[in-house]
Amino acid sequence: MTHSLLYPLTVQSKLPLAIDHLLDYCQGMYLGLNVESTFVTLAQRVKKKVKTLFKQIIIHLARILGETVAGRPPDHQDDPEQDRPHWWKEIKNFINQIEDEGLSEAQLRKILEDTYTRKEVDAVVEALRQASEIMGEFTPNLFQ
């Protein structure tokens, strides 16, 4: 290393070490930001997935019950008696997919209440109970 009049010899000898530490720090911060943005992206995907599945649960419950559930009127009412087993199976599948996300009740409610009111969410839970009675099965617990 050459000696410069701008920096004493001791500063010059420590400068490459300081730059190495700075580069290591910057690389660590970059990796940390990547990890954090990955978590944010995953959280957004989970929210979107849960909201989409919950909407499908509402649609299928309205079909089974033949009445509006959380503001969603029934459709596909050609032969509800014949189609109910299929819709019920779909509802249970949707609930299993939500359960697979491993959310607590509080986390799930927070996600759902971004889109639905607490009253609408509670109406869906009640509609699940009614549909399970119609289907002669235990009520699946959406909030485990």
pLDDT at 7 over 50: no
What percentage of the chain carries pLDDT values higher than 90?
58
Residue 11's pLDDT band (cuts 50, 70, 90): very low
pLDDT at 64 over 50: yes
Residue 138's pLDDT band (cuts 50, 70, 90): very high
More confident residue, 1 or 102: 102
Looking at 66-117, list the stretches that DSSP marks H as alpha helix, in order from N- to C-terminal side.
80-99, 105-112
- How many residues does this entry show for the chain? 144
The residues spanned by each domain of the chain are 45-135
Q: Give the three-class secondary structure for 6.
A: coil
Q: Give the three-class secondary structure for 117.
A: coil
- Quick one: average pLDDT of 40-68? 91
Amino acid at 100: D
For 13-42, the pLDDT digits (tens) are: 555 666 666 666 666 665 555 555 554 566
**In angstroms, how far is CA 11 from the centroid of its own chain?**
52
Residue 90's pLDDT band (cuts 50, 70, 90): very high
**By the 8 A CB rule, do 74 and 62 touch?**
yes
Report how far apart, in Å, the C-alpha atoms of 23 and of each of 13, 14, 29, 133 are: 17, 14, 10, 64
Contacts for 65 with CB less than 8 Å, ≥ 6 apart: 74, 127, 130, 131, 134
CA angle centred on 88, ends 86 and 94, rounded to 5°:
105
> What per-residue confidence (pLDDT) applies to 79?
78
Residue 44's pLDDT band (cuts 50, 70, 90): confident
